Chains A and B, each alone.
Chain A
Amino acid sequence: MQLEIKNLSKTYPNGKKALNNVSLTIGTGMFGLLGQNGAGKSTLMRTIATLQDADSGSIFFDDLDVLKQPQEIRKLLGYLPQDFGVYQNVSAEEMLDHIAEMKGISKASERKETVEELLNRVNLYDVRKKKLGAYSGGMKQRFGIAQALLGNPKLIIVDEPTAGLDPLERNRFYNLLSEIGANTIVILSTHIVEDVSTLCNDMAIIGAGEVLKCGKPAEIEKDLEGQLWEKEITKPDLQQYIQQGLPIISSRFHAGRMIITVFADERPHETFRTKEPSLEDAYFRLLSIGSLTAQNANVHV
């Protein structure tokens, strides 16, 4: 199973270029799509999920042309959008049954069984008779996960799935995804680097509608080996380092002290110590050579 995206471009009527010649090849397993807000992740997700047209390019799921055969791809798809709503006056059980039916599970007994299993999985079984309008944000998100898993999807797209989940639920969700990801293609879109580094065996970083980097998280981290340096400074000194033209890719706080990370082939100063690269560094590095300058480098607190 393989999802092949080739030269995909999309420009909105207001002139914003959401996708610019995006090409990706995604195989079985978890694929992470990392990018800032507004980078084009959701546009790409929606396009794969048949909810949006592209101006040019193609998407193939094996032999299926996603853009030309949306109805066919929907039969294989599980989609959890970034922000979705529910019918306020319908219970979770009814709604899942409804979606299951729309996903082609025609036999009522099978539907009932599948819905019950999924409700159990996402810990909503006890409240399955309650109206969705009365669900909390986390419960609603779990409902969203359950519906995405209905109908044995071959391609699962989850867009910012952990927003609104507490840490415990987030962990549960990751476990579930990793379990499913073994036999299907799961595309996880997020702006949280940790999510990708924990879960995905392949990933892409997207910025301003373009693929900035693509590969395995470990390889991307490895690219920066021996080129990252960090130093603990006082906050007022930051401006001075910037003026010196140091290629600062990020700054963060640790125990109340600011630590800057610099990307350079050589140690900028003996006061800098070597830093073991992380995926986060790679991400910030890519963003900093993209549209960002050192002045507004990411401050990760």
Chain B
Amino acid sequence: MFNTVFRFEARQHLKKPFTWIFLILMILQGVYYMHHAGEFYSTDQTYTNAPAILYTVLAGMGYIGFIVTAILGGTALGKDIDNRTSALLYTTRASQASFFSGRYAGSFIILLLLYAGYLAGIIAYNYLPIPNLGPFSWSALARAILLIFLPNVFILYSLCFAVTVFTKNSKGAYAAALAGMLLMIFAETAFDSNAYVVLADPTCFSVLHNQLEHLSPPEKNNFSPAFSGLLLYNRLIWVGISLILMLVAARKFSFINFSSAGSRKSKRSVEEKDEPAAATAFQTINLKKIRQQFSLGAYWQKIFPLSWLEFKSVIRPWGFRLFLSLILIIYICYVAVWQQQYFSAAPTLPVTLEVTGVMLPLSFYFLLFLIINTTELLFRNNTSGFWQISDALPVPSWVTVLSKILAMLGVALLMTICLMLFGMLVQATKGYYHFEPGVYFNELFVRWIPKYLLYILLTAFVAGLTANRYATHWITILFLFFSVIMHETDAIEQNRLNFMFSPGSGLATDMNGESIFGLAHAWFMWYWCSLSIALLATGIWLWQRGTPVSLIHRIRTRKINAALLIVFVTGIAGFIFCGNKIYQTVNVQNKFQTKAEERAEEALYEKTYKRYQNDPQPLIEALSLNLDLYPENRRLHYTADLKMRNTSMRPIDTLHVEWMDFSSIDTISVKGNILTLMKEGRNLRHNIYRMDRALLPGDSMQCHISGRLAYRGFTNGDPQKELTFNGSFLSHDIIPFLGYDDRRELKSNLYRPENGLTKLASRLPDTADNLASRQLFASTQAGRIKDTLTISTDSGQSIVAPGLLVKEWRYNNRHYFRFVNERPALFDFYILSARYAVKKQRVYISGRPVDIEAYYHPGHPYNVSSFIASAKEALAYLDTVLGAYPYATLRIAERPHYDEDLFAYGNVIVLPENHGWTADIRRREDLDYLRYVTTRLIAEQYMRQANISRTAGYPLIIHSIPGYLALQQLKHFYGEAALRKRLDKSYDTYLKGRAKEENTEPTLLKSDEQADYVSEQKGSYALYRLSQLEGSSPVNQAIRSFLEQADTSGIPVNAGWFYRQLQTVAGPSYHDFLKSAFETTAVLKPGDVDLNAGR
């Protein structure tokens, strides 16, 4: 009997066109996932089909995989309930066991067939003409299938199948598949904080992804995960759970049990009292005359009560509550257990933006949920059979459709309100009571409700077009998948080309709010809403009423409805109008470029101007800058007087002048000289001027430049952080660059060949490079300069800039500041302007006063005192190691959280909002981040005193040494054992950086600006390890003597100097360690080196 059931089940699926359509989709998905994963993970050295990528793609299963698993797992037994065939089939000679197993196996074999399509797609990808393909590893594939793929198919299918048995409802399988996906995404986004969460992932995708993130390119190319540890436990747990569930399901399944689910009688069924048999008729009551209203106004009045009824009917079923609960539980998990690594750099207070930030990874599921429910609601009359009554009622289609749309909007609002309340609940339970309903409103309601509405409208359009429930589900869901994947993979970079997307998701900051993205979001939402309304009008026009007829028939027979036509035309007009506005603002005014276009421009710059790299240009010796900032209008203008000198051996008669994007030069003049524009390069922002009198070697000149910068409108995603409403962070690049700027070159070897360039051997010049070895690391256009910065800003804002604040005054409703540097400074400063609160404290370090000033966002007062205290500790410690702090004032400033970059220049250190300012330091050990980061950045200020050349390895001095000193500071406070966690995290960051390396990993001695994972992570640890082996004193001594020599050195020194100092203090017994750590790319894992080695 098993054979009969099994064969029938399998044969029925094979006959369905849907099976074959899904097979094709699975094949395409296999190809696409390989392509996507290949592009995402592979670098110059990693093959796009590297085994590590293959493993993760096989573990991923794919969205379509989840869907088919839910369909097959749910219908295998559930279809008898849905089709009411249980009474027929459960009364045959088939036994329960054979029926159960036959159905399980019949659908499973079809599922395997479909997944074979996925495999076929993956294999086929290896034979396509794709660049950077490596040899295809059949053995890796076989092992991945055995360990990952087949268990996954079994696990997901069994979960879906078992849940259907437990719930006696095929929809249970969808809930199971969705839960599987949610667990996977949860593990994916949380494994950084706790590696053990990967055990919760039924697909073990996150287990492999976690490993992949730490592999070097050769390791990825030869990946074969050990079947132990988390991978083994994950497999054991989930296969075990699946087996247990299947055993329980097999025991629970019985014909009696299941047939009762299909019957009309249930526990809830209403029993009527017996009416007396003599009752002659339904009671005779004369129906009164009633008034009926069919005016347009009456229809509009109906909409709200109808929506309310529809709304109630959506939220009543258990499925809705189950899903909502599931989402909220995941949401709470995210918010409650998240750690610094995912959102921030330190254990962070549950500030509202961090809580609302969780919406981003969850939004996909919300949209999916809304699509499913909208479709079900739109077709509910059909599925319930009520359509024969409802379609004959005297209500126009637009009234019913609109009421359902409003009902779903109500559902979206309900979900969002739940999110807000749960967010606040989590905040309160974490002891954070600064509730910000305004931020919740902006981030959850203003940003997401229109997007939910867009998909509700789109679903209504598809429903009107197809008049088919299943087609509506699939078309809309697949469209959502497609759209999200296109966005995630940057295949569609422009928001205006991808339905629903708008700029600014995840870019709100406490300091700068929504910034330009509030306006951008409004325009984009109008843009997409206009389109959706036009589509909805089309959907309503074609709305199926009565017996189904084909789309073509409907198009042919429907008369044009004037009101709908007006709505359609208005929608299209709005779409075109908003589209044009967006295009003009983003693409024309704000010069949007795709990543490929950016790379092409970098390549073109290099090809056009590289030949001038060695042409000598005068170096800046002194700067006097007058800068007026208008943050409210996002514009500035400046005048700069530069004293420049020809330090080369050749006369200079040509000036190469470049300017910052969106800025313009109003005037440029050289005192006593006439500049003639020889070649204008507007597109690449590079002009070439001829001086009528050449600047002879050793001579100097005065150059006067004035210019402006103005941002307008909004962008596709660039926050234009240089000049913004509150928290501008303007670099010295506002002053035109003289010469060829090698920072603008295309650095990625992955893309250089396709842009007509040869691969780079190194991203920084070699120490032997004649030109570079004479230039300071900070800038190729200046040595150490004297500067005076006179800056004004809006009256409510303050300026933070390097140097001594010699004057501060207000004039004409503006706030003026003048800074003069205490000692010649590097030419790489930044200027901040924001509405700051300030806390100042004078501390004495070895008897010398240092004024510590903290400039912070008034909403972030939490840790300011701790920052100052940590800075004082750092100053005290560094005073003992490196000598006196070089400045009289130390400024610590906060800036909006648009990236994670930390800055130290002159006497200023700058940290984004989430780095310390909102850190949760209530536990003593959590204070470590403040101590670490202040020590590191202040140490960087020290090291910047060294005259270091802009050659390979300079980040070793600028980043590794400060990182090492910060570790020493932590060791001092918490002891060596407590440091292990930070070292492990640092090692993890190193591995991840190495995994993403697009060129070749440089050695520590050759580290460069792009490979900060080498200088900041590996370098700091290498020095720390040496201090463990040799003791910290010799290492500290080497650093100090290097700094003293480099500070006074007439010519710039390089990392090799420091390395030789280390070799000297380390003694011969540690030379092997030094060689391995500094001269090779060998991995330096914390705890790897024997503490007694070499002794």
Residues of A within 8 A of B (CB): 13, 46, 49-53, 71, 74-75, 77, 79-90, 94, 98-99, 101-107, 110, 113-114, 117-118, 120-123, 126-127, 130-131, 133-137, 139, 142, 144, 147-149, 151-152, 168, 171-173, 175-176, 179
Contacts and interface: CB of A to CB of B under 8 A. Distances in A.
A123 B275 contact: yes
B270 A49 contact: no
13 contacts: A71-B396, A81-B389, A85-B385, A86-B385, A104-B298, A105-B293, A121-B283, A135-B269, A144-B389, A148-B389, A152-B289, A168-B277, A179-B284
A139 B290 CA distance: 25
Given A86-B386, A121-B282, A172-B281, A77 B394 contact: yes
Interface of B: 264, 266, 268-270, 272-273, 275, 277, 279-285, 287-294, 298, 301-302, 305-306, 309, 312-313, 316-317, 380, 383-386, 388-396, 399-400, 545-547, 549-550, 557
Contact of B292 (A139, A151, A173): A151
Contact of A84 (B283, B289, B385): B385
A-B complex: 8 closest residue pairs judged by Cβ atoms: A85-B385, A51-B546, A104-B292, A81-B388, A74-B394, A175-B281, A85-B384, A75-B394
A289 B234 CA distance: 75
A136 B386 CA distance: 16
A98 B306 contact: yes
A172 B279 contact: yes
B547 A104 contact: no
A71 B295 CA distance: 12
B549 A53 contact: yes
Given A105-B293, A106-B302, A149-B287, 12 more contacts: A51-B546, A53-B549, A75-B394, A79-B392, A86-B385, A87-B313, A87-B380, A99-B393, A103-B394, A126-B272, A144-B389, A171-B281
B270 A136 contact: yes
Given A74-B394, A81-B389, A114 B279 contact: no
Given A84-B386, A84-B389, A134-B268, A122 B287 contact: no
A149 B288 CA distance: 12
Given A77-B394, A86-B384, A87-B386, A123 B287 contact: no
A106 B285 CA distance: 22
Contact of A101 (B273, B305, B384, B385): B305
Contact of A106 (B270, B301, B391, B557): B301
Contacts of B292: 75, 103-106, 151-152
B298 A106 contact: yes
A94 B309 CA distance: 8
Contacts of B285: 117, 120-121
A88 B381 CA distance: 11
Contacts of A50: 391-392, 545-546
Q: Most chain-B CB neighbours within 10 Å: which of A46, A82, A87, A88?
A: A87
Q: Most chain-A CB neighbours within 10 Å: which of B273, B285, B545, B547?
A: B547
Contacts of B298: 104, 106
A86 B264 CA distance: 13
Given A51-B391, A134-B268, A122 B290 contact: no
B270 A168 contact: no
Contacts of B380: 87
Contacts of A99: 389-390, 393
Contacts of B312: 90
Nearest to A138: B272
B347 to A, nearest CB: 46
Contacts of B270: 127, 130, 134-136, 139
A71 B266 CA distance: 39
A51 B282 contact: no
Nearest to A88: B384
Contact of B282 (A49, A134, A172): A172
Contacts of B547: 46, 51-52
A95 to B, nearest CB: 8
A184 to B, nearest CB: 11
A123 B283 contact: yes
B279 A168 contact: yes
Nearest to A118: B287
A71 B316 contact: no
Contact of A75 (B272, B294, B390): B294
A123 B313 contact: no
Nearest to A52: B547
B302 A152 contact: no
B290 A114 contact: yes
B393 A74 contact: yes
